[in-house]
């Protein structure tokens, strides 16, 4: 590590307090160690601030928009104040709607259900399945993986230039890859979309926890993200953006809360008048704790200051990258090149190891939790690993079709709550496993690589 990097570390903030920082786990080699949670890209731990806020509110929990009692009124105010807090966090336009959903996946499926008739959708094959798959009922154009940010913009511009200019169109793009962590040129892609009469939705699941996100500055039409990646794992997500397509669409779910008025007809049926506000797509009893936890996380990140959080994360990214670069057997995966800006998400493969075996050894022998596999982004990972054979039949090797390689990778991810020690232990563990091998025997159980017993 460079002298400047070491010096910079002395001026960085401490990690934000998160739940689980004191949890210890057993090692197969004996003893226990503090668990190193390095799978933030899947689910980040709850911020202590979020947990404390939820715990303080919990005794006052009541039905939202349903009751005249004090707790119901308090919960309703809490829910709607949470909507305003998240709207401010995203720097939404005055007439945007913010809908609370279950997750990014739920948000994008909601938007897919609200697309105008004959809408054409453009999506890169590099997307997470949450933003790759919801558009099956529309006319979808899947775009090849670009190898530079400029190529991404050019690819989209060519595709949009060939579309029917009179019909509606939507572009779906990620803000930061859940596989490589690389930042995508969202503002430039939005400009290309709008220049060709299309709209754009941003999958910010991996971007919002790491960087400030402004709907107005990026000029996107919608944004979606999940609470469980934003240090608020209480089952809630967000879709925010332009109201017209959402108001024109049938409710995502039919039921109480979405309906303003329901009357019986003489023929025995019912007539329904639906809300035109966000309630139109929030049928059922709202997840007030989930919404409140997201708002709490938004406040905590804003108060900590994204400039400070980003600076510290860049320091951790450099520690991981420089550490892995010193191990010849490790290859870090990238679309845009090693120097591309990224969030704290890094995927790699290790020569001579099946990735499931390697991840199992990190957990069992070092108490380090990472992710292995294809990360719900199968086309992207297959593109990145297309030339890398992996031994079939090794512990934990995923099933492969006849004649197809067994492909998987390892992903390490971290964020505002990650201590330096976790990153240092990870780099040391990778080096030791590569140079010394695993200390334990492993076997395949239900498709996973696990320590062998006996």
Which positions are catalytic?
376
Cross-strand pairs, 348: 332, 410
Q: CA nearest 414: which of 395, 432, 401, 427? A: 427
Q: To the nearest 10°, the Cα dihedral for 389, 393, 396, 400?
A: 60
Distance CA 25, CA 13 (A): 27
Q: What Cα–Cα distance (Å) separates residue 89 from each residue in 92, 96, 238, 282, 358?
A: 8, 13, 12, 21, 39
Q: CA nearest 16: which of 292, 301, 225, 293? A: 301
Tokens of 69: 């009692």
* Kind of pairing between the strands at 97-101 and 237-241: antiparallel
Q: What is the CA radius of gyration of the chain?
A: 23
Please give, one letter per residue, the 3-state secondary structure of the chain.
CCHHHHHHHCCCCCCCCECCCCCEEECCCCCEEECEECECCCCCCCEHHHHHHHHHHHHHCCCCCCCCCHHHHHHHHHHHHHHHHHHHHCCCCCCCEEEEECCHHHHHHHHHHCCCCCCEEEEECCCCHHHHCCCCCCEEEEECCCCCHHHHHHHHHHHHHCCCCCCCEEEEEECECCCCCEECCHHHHHHHHHHCCCEEEEECCCCCCCCCCCHHHHCCCEEEEEHHHCCCCCCCEEEEECCHHHHHCCCCCCCCCCEEEEEECCCCCEEEEECCCHHHHCCCCCCHHHHHHHHHHHHHHHHHCHHHHHHHHHHHHHHHHHHHHCCCCEEECCCCCCCCCECCEEEEEECCCCHHHHHHHHHHHHCEECEEECCCCHHHHHHHHCCCCCCCCCCCCCCCCCCCCCCCEEEEECCCCCCHHHHHHHHHHHHHHHHHCCCCCEEEECCEEEECCC
């Amino acid at each position: 590590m460079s002298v400047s990097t070491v010096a910079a570390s002395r001026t960085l903030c401490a990690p934000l307090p998160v739940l689980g920082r004191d949890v210890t786990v057993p090692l197969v080699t004996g003893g226990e160690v503090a668990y190193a949670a390095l799978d933030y890209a899947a689910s980040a731990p709850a911020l202590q601030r979020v947990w404390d806020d939820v715990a303080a509110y919990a005794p006052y929990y009541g039905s939202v928009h349903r009751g005249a009692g004090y707790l119901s009124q308090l919960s309703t105010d809490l829910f709607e104040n949470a909507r305003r807090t998240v709207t401010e966090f995203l720097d939404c336009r005055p007439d945007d709607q913010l809908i609370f959903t279950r997750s990014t996946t739920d948000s994008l499926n909601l938007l897919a259900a609200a697309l105008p008739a004959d809408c054409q959708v453009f999506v890169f094959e590099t997307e997470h399945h949450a933003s790759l798959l919801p558009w099956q009922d529309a006319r979808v154009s899947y775009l090849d993986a670009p190898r530079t940010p400029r190529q991404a913009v050019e690819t989209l511009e060519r595709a949009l230039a060939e579309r029917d200019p009179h019909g509606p169109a939507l572009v779906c793009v990620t803000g930061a890859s859940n596989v490589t962590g690389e930042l995508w040129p969202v503002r430039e892609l939005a400009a290309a979309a709008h220049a060709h009469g299309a709209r754009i939705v941003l999958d910010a699941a991996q971007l919002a926890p790491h960087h400030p996100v402004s709907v107005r500055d990026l000029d996107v039409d919608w944004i979606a993200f999940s609470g469980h990646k934003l240090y608020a794992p209480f089952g809630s997500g967000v879709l925010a953006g332009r109201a017209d397509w959402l108001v024109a669409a049938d409710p995502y779910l039919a039921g109480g809360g979405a309906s303003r008025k329901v009357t019986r007809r003489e023929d025995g049926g019912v007539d329904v008048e639906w809300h035109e506000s966000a309630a139109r797509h929030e049928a059922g009893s709202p997840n007030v704790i989930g919404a409140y936890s997201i708002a709490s996380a938004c406040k905590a990140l804003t108060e900590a200051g994204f400039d400070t959080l980003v600076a510290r994360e860049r320091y951790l990214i450099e520690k991981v990258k420089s550490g892995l670069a010193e191990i010849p057997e490790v290859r870090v995966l990238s679309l845009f090149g090693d120097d591309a800006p990224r969030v704290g998400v890094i995927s790699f493969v290790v020569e001579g190891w099946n990735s499931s075996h390697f991840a199992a050894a990190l957990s069992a022998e070092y108490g380090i939790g990472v992710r292995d596999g294809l990360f719900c982004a199968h086309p992207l990972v297959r593109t990145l690993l297309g030339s890398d054979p992996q031994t079939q039949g090794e512990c934990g090797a995923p099933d492969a079709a006849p004649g197809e390689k067994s492909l998987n990778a390892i992903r390490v991810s971290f964020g505002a709550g990650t201590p330096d020690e976790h990153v240092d232990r990870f780099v040391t563990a990778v080096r030791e496993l590569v140079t010394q091998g695993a200390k334990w025997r492993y076997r395949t159980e239900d498709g996973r690589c696990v320590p062998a017993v006996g």
